Structure 1
């Protein structure tokens, strides 16, 4: 089934170029690369990643609990190898995502009208995309994307063939990412000595979602960030950042470190829910995305959350549900322009913003 859709996709290439100005949301169109000279032909796409990659490596086939514990405590992020996701599937997802983003802005916006899939740009997916138009360029994220709730994929009947190809591939991808998420969380729960029955409530498969991102390239990287510095609200996030174009950076010892894109590996980072569940033993990692000078970046991130009404209890935080946490984040973004997150629920007072 997947190969059939990919075959159809390759035979019906959309005439729009990836660099076609019409494919970008209006607010991003001045970054169109046709007005800039192309990069040198011998450019190494990983020129910014010549230094050794310090990110901890976790082998899912031979999972070592001690190494996982160290990565969760000291980094909140690790590289996953031997994860069992077929390399062909990872590549197909990247290619179909490129085709999808190459469609005109109007086609992408119209395709999601009235559907469970949300198209957003210039702002995190938690806020309406239209707010990007009122932001100054300095405060805007240089990104567009699709927010895909996986539990509703089987009921989603997209009109665009390319979006249908994405849907079919994501249904296959979900099986692998759900398996990985459960395996990793069970290992973390064992390390944390969580109640096994209770821990199963902390990672709800039906809560899983995928966000597909495109970050435009720009010779002037001072124009802003692809994604501002933030922590994820999830239990964990699993990122397929492609083979060549980097941009993901994590904050470590008050310095931003590049996370090198390495083929056939995934990046796992812990979110706010995992930090609260672990009573601050594990770290919700601060990260951001920079803009690449020469190539735009396509990435896919899988997020998993607790059940919305599952109460998270720990000695560091007041009891709260993910539904309450999400509502508070939305309120803070609307009122303050940024996420506050876990400090809203911390026992210590007062909260300083």
Structure 2
């Protein structure tokens, strides 16, 4: 059975699912044993991950020059890396993950009170942000909290995860400032260059919950995509499922981002690829549907410029443009950039391509 079958009204089925306000977790709680048709991906492309490859791990306790070299290389060749010895206590990571899990596992009648597709007071809880736009839904539910530049209405954040998410935002901001400085050094520009562009000041926390899936080979947790942000900083539990696309010997393969207790996953976003004039790469990544018995949780914070006036233009840093390496992209406002991003399905690298010269 597929979503293309005669008589199936996908629009109506999506509407009915959304109106339950119970998300994918509600379907699991109902005891379903087969995937509803709206979640059928016609070709999930679930080829096995390349077991001989792993994304780089950067130890921040090493001498700074070595750390800069490792981050530069990882950002150019992979667009992804994990950092360890970053100074954030393991307990802070575990508490944040546990709090998000607790929210998603509240009774459906309690969770549903928070369910909304719009941001109310800077907070949203729903299933699939592109549910009504995508050709197929993915197997996840999400809490989003707009942490800055405008602080969320604290009472709108579910109480069970309120203190933990607010504290996590502060923890990550400081380590992101350090990582941005290291990445600037890798580009050969002033260590404060990206921070001075207000790129620490617009922060969106996205808390994903991937319940066990009855037919994981028929859907995905998140389709392959790139992030529009400057940087994304993510924590994940030990279940795994995040994969990164890598080119090897002329072929594209998927590589598991294997969970490391206490590590932070850093990935280059589309904006940083543009700002770095293609030195750093924003790469496609996805999450496979959860085949484990326990739900998977991940929490990402997306960093973007807060300066969004019509006179604030973004594009390749002038310091990185020369006759040998001319600008690859034109300048644009953040309004134009974000409008372009949200005009498409998640599965696309459309955004970056639109701004190429």
Q: TM-score, normalised by structure 2?
A: 0.76
Change in CA separation of 1:112 and 1:298 when aligned onto 2, cut-off 3 Å: same
Deviation at 1:50, TM superposition (A): 11
SS of the residue corresponding to residue 283 of structure 1 reads coil
Q: CA RMSD of the aligned region, Å? A: 2.7
- What do the CA deviations read for 1:218-244 (whole angstroms, capped 9, x no partner)? 2421221000000001111111111x2
Q: TM-score, normalised by structure 1?
A: 0.76
Matched, 1:241 2:236: yes
Deviation at 1:307, TM superposition (A): 2.5
Q: Aligned to 1:278, which of 265, 271, 276?
A: 276
- What do the CA deviations read for 1:120-145 (whole angstroms, capped 9, x no partner)? 2133xxx4x5x27xx66xx2121110
Task: Name the residue aligned to 2:122.
Answer: 116
Task: Name the residue aligned to 1:269.
Answer: 267
Q: How many residues align?
A: 299
Matches within 5 A, 1:1-353: 24-25=22-23, 29-32=26-29, 34=31, 51=51, 54-62=54-62, 63=64, 64-111=67-114, 114-123=120-129, 127=130, 131=132, 139-151=136-148, 152-153=150-151, 155-158=153-156, 163-195=158-190, 198-242=193-237, 244-253=238-247, 254-294=252-292, 295-309=294-308, 310-314=312-316, 315-333=327-345, 340-347=350-357
5+ long unaligned stretches in structure 1:
1-21, 37-47, 348-353
**Residues 203 and 304 of structure 1 are in contact (CA less than 8 Å); yes or no, is this contact kept in structure 2?**
no
Change in CA separation of 1:169 and 1:293 when aligned onto 2, cut-off 3 Å: same
**Residues 214 and 299 of structure 1 are in contact (CA less than 8 Å); yes or no, is this contact kept in structure 2?**
yes
Structure 1 Cα separation of the partners of residues 234 and 214 of structure 2 = 25
Deviation at 1:261, TM superposition (A): 1.1
Structure 1 Cα separation of the partners of residues 151 and 315 of structure 2 = 32
**Residues 80 and 268 of structure 1 are in contact (CA less than 8 Å); yes or no, is this contact kept in structure 2?**
yes
- What do the CA deviations read for 1:4-39 (whole angstroms, capped 9, x no partner)? xxxxxxxxxxxxxxxxxx9942x6654458466xxx
**Residues 308 and 323 of structure 1 are in contact (CA less than 8 Å); yes or no, is this contact kept in structure 2?**
no
Greater helix proportion: 1
Deviation at 1:296, TM superposition (A): 1.8
Deviation at 1:200, TM superposition (A): 2.6
Change in CA separation of 1:29 and 1:164 when aligned onto 2, cut-off 3 Å: closer
**Residues 22 and 111 of structure 2 are in contact (CA less than 8 Å); yes or no, is this contact kept in structure 1?**
no
SS of the residue corresponding to residue 187 of structure 1 reads helix
Structure 1 Cα separation of the partners of residues 343 and 32 of structure 2 = 40
Change in CA separation of 1:30 and 1:157 when aligned onto 2, cut-off 3 Å: closer
**Residues 60 and 85 of structure 2 are in contact (CA less than 8 Å); yes or no, is this contact kept in structure 1?**
yes
More deviation, 143-152/53-62: 53-62
- What do the CA deviations read for 1:91-150 (whole angstroms, capped 9, x no partner)? 111111111001244533423663310112133xxx4x5x27xx66xx212111011111
Change in CA separation of 1:272 and 1:24 when aligned onto 2, cut-off 3 Å: same
SS of the residue corresponding to residue 332 of structure 1 reads coil
5+ long unaligned stretches in structure 2:
1-19, 34-47, 317-326
